[in-house]
Chains A and B, each alone.
Chain A
Amino acid sequence: MFGTEIERLIQLLSRLPGLGPRSGRRAALALLKRKETLLLPLLEQLGRVAESIRSCRICGNLDSAETCAICRDPARENHSLCVVEDVADLWAIERSGAFKGRYHVLGGTLSALDGVGPDELSIGQLVARVKAGGVEEVILALNATVDGQTTAHYLSERLQGLGIGVSRLAHGVPIGGELDYLDDGTLATALKARRPAAG
């Protein structure tokens, strides 16, 4: 039905989250029909993004500068540091507008079964940031999954004795609920109602 070039485009589009073969076909067709207004601008933007986007050297957020906009922003509070698993969680908390401090993106969660240990995550960098001073509270905004909570336990252990407060999100999050899926109001409430981590 399709030539191989179009087939390949559909295959690639189908790999995007939320898309399957069916929506991949629809997306491909939309791009091909709107070459000037959609395909070419998208191509150009993808090129720019591929060229410039990198992980922030301080927090792990994605940005086109070496230091991300949040880390550069002088208005944000230095004393409060929010630890998240993934950039998606950072974006979710930013959308809620409930947090004015800085972030630290771990890049995943501890999972022996998946071969992810402390060295695979940016835990060393986190401890170094705290030791460098200025941070008074670390908020562990990890998902309510088993791996998320194991990681939270581990981090509160590693951060103990550094003279800072460590707290966890109070989430009555639905089963396996991940931060990215929470509505902004719920997330804001969970942030406000955070409680000290037991360690």
Chain B
Amino acid sequence: MSQGVLSPSGPAASGARACPRLARLTLHEFRNYPALTLDLPQEAPIVVLTGANGAGKTNLLEAISLLSPGRGLRQARLPELLRTGGEGPWRVAARLVSDAGERELGTGLQAESERRQVRIDRRNAQPAELAAVVAVLWLTPQMDRLFLESAGGRRRFLDRLAFLLDPEHARRVAGYERVLRERGRLLADAPASPADSAWLAALESQAAELGVAIAAGRLTAVEQLNTALAQAAEPDFPAALLAVEGTVEGWLASMPALAAEARLAEALALARPKDAATGGSLVGPHRSDLVVSDRRRAVPAARCSTGEQKALLLAIVLAEARLVAGLRGLPPLLLLDEVSAHLDQGRRAALCQRLLAHGGQVWLTGTEPALFDALKGRACALAIANGRARLEEWAV
């Protein structure tokens, strides 16, 4: 049973760019969708989803975001994704087409399992393997407050940017977090006996190796992004300037990585009594922050207006998309949830121009088709309602 099927409108237009794009997306018992199959016209790399509040626009983007490692754009727990009252398991499948040919991607929650299942070209795979096949990058309304809230959100944002440039980054972050949890447990459990101190040292030298690699990965990402942002400076879009503020990142500016590792391991060893008391860890890249400012006006992002902050975020995301396309040859799928809110008409038009120039597929959402007038005739528009999708009149 499949609902809301669109027929592909003939063969791809000649000269169509060969960026990776979803040609078909299938949802099964996912959020508010019992079953949905979307066949997307090949000649439109931009897809606009419109519909009332609660129609299922964000849910659709979330489904696409699960085609990459991690928990998707809402950071949801996997069982939450099953449709209320639905018969499990939930599934998301997609056909990705590009120059390199077609790939079949699928994910879902296995019965009685905590881990999600991933299929690539009809064989079981680790979620991390998805990163080699497709890059997915998103911007959601929740991120509107990124510059105003705690450092944790900005750090996760930065780590995601670094991960898209170097997929190994995610493994290091996950490993680092696990080592810190192990160390925390050991400090809480046992008054340091000699055996435990060797164990703690083993954990700390692991933490130091991973932590310095994480800091280095972030610095590289920020440097590459700043270069890309400087090249793309356009008058109607703000120019963002990025920096990482953190102890370990600071060390790397003045000493080689091996020296920084030794220093971090030493700092962790020294902090044992304090860390045992607080249950945390005083020093390390888990305390760093991403600092963003408007380059032209030299104003910190937190002091920019709501719309200016949104434009800064968009500038960063678009620069990242160009970088990932250039460095890894993998133009990301861009998922932009309600990006037009807060943007004035000039910025909205500038955004549309940039999106048309982006090499990869772009998914946009909004309550009103009128928000995307600048894309008229150049995008595929889908009206979402009642768990179905309908191709809109002003489509390609």
Contact = CB atoms under 8 A, between A and B. Distances in A.
Are A and B co-members of a single complex?
Answer: yes
Interface of A: 110-113, 117-118, 146-147, 149-151, 153-154, 157-158, 174-176, 198
Nearest to A110: B199
B340 to A, nearest CB: 37
A92 B202 CA distance: 26
Contact of B198 (A154, A174, A175, A176): A154
A112 B126 contact: no
Interface of B: 126, 128-129, 168, 171, 175, 178-179, 181-183, 185-186, 189, 195, 198-199, 201-203, 205-206
Nearest to A177: B126
Chain B interface, >50% SS class: helix
B182 A113 contact: yes
B199 A175 contact: no
Q: Which of A150, A151, A174 has the most CB of B within 10 A?
A: A150
Given A175-B126, A176-B171, A150 B206 contact: yes
A62 to B, nearest CB: 28
Given A175-B171, A176-B171, A150 B182 contact: yes
Given A113-B182, A146-B179, A176 B128 contact: yes
B202 A113 contact: no
B202 A112 contact: no
Given A112-B189, A150-B203, A176-B171, A158 B198 contact: yes
Nearest to A175: B128
A118 B199 contact: yes
B167 to A, nearest CB: 8
B201 A157 contact: yes
Contacts of A113: 178, 181-182, 185
A198 B202 CA distance: 11
B76 to A, nearest CB: 22
Contacts of B201: 153-154, 157
A157 B179 contact: no
A175 B168 CA distance: 8
A112 B182 contact: yes
A170 to B, nearest CB: 15
Nearest to A157: B198
Nearest to A21: B111
Nearest to A146: B175
Contacts of A198: 205
Contact of B202 (A151, A174, A175, A176): A151
B220 to A, nearest CB: 20
